[in-house]
Every structure is written in structure tokens, then in C-alpha cells.
Amino acid sequence: MITLQNYINGELIAPVSGAYLSNTNPATGEVFSECPDSDERDVDLAYVAAENAFEQWSNTPAEKRGRIMLKISELLERDLQLFAEAETTDQGKPLWLSKNGEIPRAISNIRFFGTAIEHFSSEAHPMGNHAINYTLRSPIGVVGCISPWNLPLYLFTWKIAPALATGNCVVAKPSEITPYTAYLFSKICIEAGLPPGVLNIVHGLGHKVGSAITSHPSIKAISFTGGTKTGAEIAKVAAPMFKKLSLELGGKNPNIIFADCDFEAMLAETVRSSFLNQGEICLCGSRIFIERSIYDKFKSAFVEKVKTELVVGDPMNPKTKTGAIVSKAHFEKVLSYIELAKQEGGTVLCGGEVVKPDGVCANGWFIAPTIIEGLPYTCRTNQEEIFGPVVTLSPFDTEEEVLKMANSTEYGLAATIWTQDVTKAHRVAQLVKSGIVWINCWLLRDLRTPFGGVKSSGVGREGGLEALRFFTEAKNICVKL
């Protein structure tokens, strides 16, 4: 049994309560580690450590802060295999995805902001020859970063990297469902010489540790990624305290396929955008809209490709394309949506059932990639975030019709458009209500770009300058000449 610890004031320590939460490997159903069941007392210890470290860290030259971050990224790269196996054990995603996606992106996150900070500048506004304004962008102080279970280290570092780079100190809480790599990360922070208290990781439950962070009177900004419902709870607490809020929430993303697309390229990418990471990515295209003239061609090719290529099984096996669902609760939630789809009149074209691999994974939580057609765009299956390996197919005849369906949900995170008509691509991209649009590609990411959604998909943007500005306060100073 691996016992995880909190990382507070540069040390790995037990929770004040001395209590622990069991942490299960979703591929085997077996408890493999225990995670601190921390509470507000641990958050208070973390806050004090962060507050005490802030003066020195914020006055450390940006280039030196960046160097320490680059050292952390080098150690993460050195231990990539260890972290990849840990991520797969904890989250259930295939090992090749941890090795080629999750952990390399965590390394990039740290490297990107560890170097970006040296180029972070602000503005001056001269008023003729009688005055000049200059804008200071200074670190906020102690900030809170709360991250989810779908891309554990990837989203954890996506938040803490800009926060640290801009000179803030952090109280961070990874998901209690996937705490393992954040724990291993704290060890390499110690090895890299990150000063004590600059980053503090408090493990535990959302309603205990997460809410203690969001309601802490001296933690001035909260960066959160997770469910829309939880985002609303956090906003309710943080807004009256006038905290800065970055909320990256759920999605129900349309994948719009026109008849004039590059069919083979679209097909290959649509399998990815539908089922990568077991569909547990807020950017997955779970509602697929296909122009009627190619609907049947698409349907048979897509079902065939998913059935033959997306091998479900032991995530440690290199042949596995679809791993385990992250938890029993989420496994049951996804299955309940498949049942709902049938009740709403959908036809399951493939998948829709539990998969029981032989051997060590016999007691794991696996669902076959599921494709459903024949549902109205207004039904719950097409309106609510399922966050699993489930997509629906809907034909359309006109742009107006598909935009009406695509924009019909409460969400507005991402959209994908497939067409060779560049004018149509830009027109539809402007009309679809989302924060991110991919044309003839998916999940092609430049870390400088603004990242986030509209409507119930969240508030604010992460990435590049947006993140550096979120974690700093702007002050305008006007000097009479």
C-alpha cells in the first residue's frame, strides 16, 4: 500500500487528522494507495507556509524562478516512465497515452511558463508631453489551484505553472480520485530546490479541502477545473469575497462534419476526438453532426473503425486503445446515460455494454466505446455532459439547422468543423458559440492561445498571456512630467 502525504512548507507530512482515503486502481478495482483525508487545518498550515514564502519568492528575479521551474521539468522528464505508470495506475488511461500525452504535456506546461515569464511585460501610455502612465503587473499573493481527475498532472501543472512563474505562492488540491502523480510531483519539487512554502499540495475531499481553499479569507484567487455544478458552488463562495476566479468547466462539444470534408482525415480524427482518454476530456466532440448526404457512409465507416481499432482492456497493455473508467461512481454514471439514451429512443450502433477483460482487470471498470443514433438534439442525452466513451450521431441538411443544434446546449467550450470550403469554415466557426474551435483538426494546442469556454463551460481564459495576467494584479501609475 502506498501512503501519499501532503506537501506543506517543503515537507511531506501526514494530514492533521491522521485519516486517509482509499485510492483505487480503476483497471483492477483494487485499492493501491491511501490519500490524506485533510481538512481546513491542513489548508491553514499550507496557507501560512505560502504566506511566509511569498515575500522572498515574489522578489526572486523571474529568470531565477524560471530556472527552478525548468529544473522541475527536467526531473519530470527524467522520471517520465515512473510518472506515466503512476498516472495510468491512478486514472485508468492507456500507458501509451500517459507516456505520449499526459506527462509530456505536464513537462511542456512547466517549461512554457518557466520561460514565458522572462518575456512577460506590461504597457506604458504617454499623454503627450505632460504625463506618462505605466502599468505594473505584480503577483497576487497566495492563490488556490484546484484540479480534476481526467488529466491529473496535465491540468494540475497547467494551473500551478503560471501561478508560480508570476511569483505567487500556491495552495493546490488535486482530485482525491487521482492524487498519485501530484504526490510524486511534490518529491521532484523538493529535489529541484523549490523553496519551502512556494508550492503546497493538500490532498483530500472537495467539500472539505477544496471548500477550505475557496473560502479562505486570504487566498485571493482561485483557478478551478472541474464540473459545472462544482464551479457554481465555488463561485457562490468566492464571488462575495471578491476573489479572482478562473473556472474551466464542462462541455458538450459539437463535431460538425460537412459532405465536402477530407473524409479519411476526418474519420481518423473523429475516432480520436470521440474516445481519447475514454471520452473523459472536456474537449471531446460527443455530439457528431453529419451532413445528410454522407450520413450513411460516415455511420458505417465510423462504427467499423471504432469496433475494430478501439481495443478495450488492460491500460498497461500497449495494444489497449481504451482504458478503464476512472471510478466506480463515474462508471455507473456513464452506464446510466447509456440506459437513458435507450429510453429516449436512441439506437445503440456499437458498444453500450460493460467490458470484462480476462486476468488482472477482471474486476476493473470498462465500457465499450458507444455510438448512438436516432435521438432528438433536445433530449437529455444530447444536452447533458456524460464525460465518457459515448457519442451521438445526428444528420443535418443546412448550416442554419446544424448551428441551431450545435448551439442548443448550456455549454460552449469547444467545437470541431470539417470542410474543405474555407469560407464556410470561417463563417461557421464565427457562429458556433464556444471558446475554442478546431477546423479540420482536434486538440491541436498552442499554449500561447486563450483557453476556456462560454456559457456553462466557464469563466475566464487560461493559457499564455491570459494565465500570466490572471495571476497578476495590474496597477496603473500616472506620472506628471
Cα angle: 288, vertex 289, 292; to 5 degrees: 135
* Residue range at the interface with ligand TXE (CB under 6 A); choices 148-156, 314-322, 337-345, 472-480: 148-156
Nearest residue (CB) to ligand TXE, 177 versus 306:
177
φ and ψ at residue 218, rounded to 5 degrees: -110, 5
Q: Please answer whether residues 419 and 425 qualify as being in contact, where contact means their C-beta atoms are separated by less than 8 angstroms.
A: yes
List the x/- string, 19-58, binding to ligand TXE by CB under 6 A. ----------------------------------------
Output the smallest distance, CB 43 to ligand TXE, in A: 11
Nearest residue (CB) to ligand TXE, 201 versus 249:
249
Residues in contact with ligand TXE, counted by CB under 6 A, come to a total of: 25
Closest CA to 222 of 160, 158, 169, 145: 145
Cα angle: 395, vertex 398, 403; to 5 degrees: 85
Name the 3-class secondary structure at 474: strand
Within 242-261, the residues that bind ligand TXE by CB under 6 A are 248-250
Q: Please answer whether residues 371 and 393 qualify as being in contact, where contact means their C-beta atoms are separated by less than 8 angstroms.
A: yes
Q: Which of 214, 223, 456, 472 contacts ligand TXE by CB under 6 A?
A: 214
* Residue range at the interface with ligand TXE (CB under 6 A); choices 19-27, 220-228, 293-301, 473-481: 220-228
- Is 248 an active-site residue? yes
Which member of 169, 282, 284, 361 is catalytic? 282
Is 462 among the residues that bind ligand TXE (CB under 6 A)? no
Within 269-288, the residues that bind ligand TXE by CB under 6 A are 282
Whole-angstrom distance, CA of residue 393 vs CA of residue 371: 7
CB atoms near residue 131 (< 10 Å): 12
CB atoms near residue 422 (< 10 Å): 10
* Residue range at the interface with ligand TXE (CB under 6 A); choices 83-91, 164-172, 203-211, 463-471: 203-211
Q: Which of 104, 196, 227, 395 contacts ligand TXE by CB under 6 A?
A: 227
Is 206 among the residues that bind ligand TXE (CB under 6 A)? yes
User: How far is the CA of 293 from the CAs of 54, 121, 213, 258, 395, in angstroms?
Assistant: 61, 52, 52, 9, 9
Output the smallest distance, CB 86 to ligand TXE, in A: 17
CB atoms near residue 182 (< 10 Å): 25
* Encoded amino acid at 290, one letter: I
Sign of the dihedral through C-alpha 68, 69, 75, 78: negative
Within 369-408, the residues that bind ligand TXE by CB under 6 A are 385, 387
Name the 3-class secondary structure at 469: helix
Output the smallest distance, CB 35 to ligand TXE, in A: 11
Whole-angstrom distance, CA of residue 321 vs CA of residue 95: 9
Which member of 85, 102, 233, 248 is catalytic? 248
Closest CA to 395 of 323, 462, 313, 295: 295
Is 463 among the residues that bind ligand TXE (CB under 6 A)? no
Within 155-184, the residues that bind ligand TXE by CB under 6 A are 173, 175-176
Closest CA to 55 of 121, 139, 117: 139
CB atoms near residue 264 (< 10 Å): 9
Q: Which of 33, 150, 157, 322 contacts ligand TXE by CB under 6 A?
A: 150
Q: Please answer whether residues 84 and 102 qualify as being in contact, where contact means their C-beta atoms are separated by less than 8 angstroms.
A: yes
Is 148 among the residues that bind ligand TXE (CB under 6 A)? yes
Q: Which of 89, 166, 225, 382 contacts ligand TXE by CB under 6 A?
A: 225
Is 338 among the residues that bind ligand TXE (CB under 6 A)? no
- Is 189 an active-site residue? no
Nearest residue (CB) to ligand TXE, 176 versus 314:
176
List the x/- string, 128-147, binding to ligand TXE by CB under 6 A. ------------------xx
Residue 260 CA neighbour count, 13 Å, CB half:
7
Which residues are near ligand TXE by CB under 6 A? 146-150, 173, 175-176, 206-207, 210-211, 214, 225-227, 230, 233-234, 248-250, 282, 385, 387
Active site residues: 248, 282
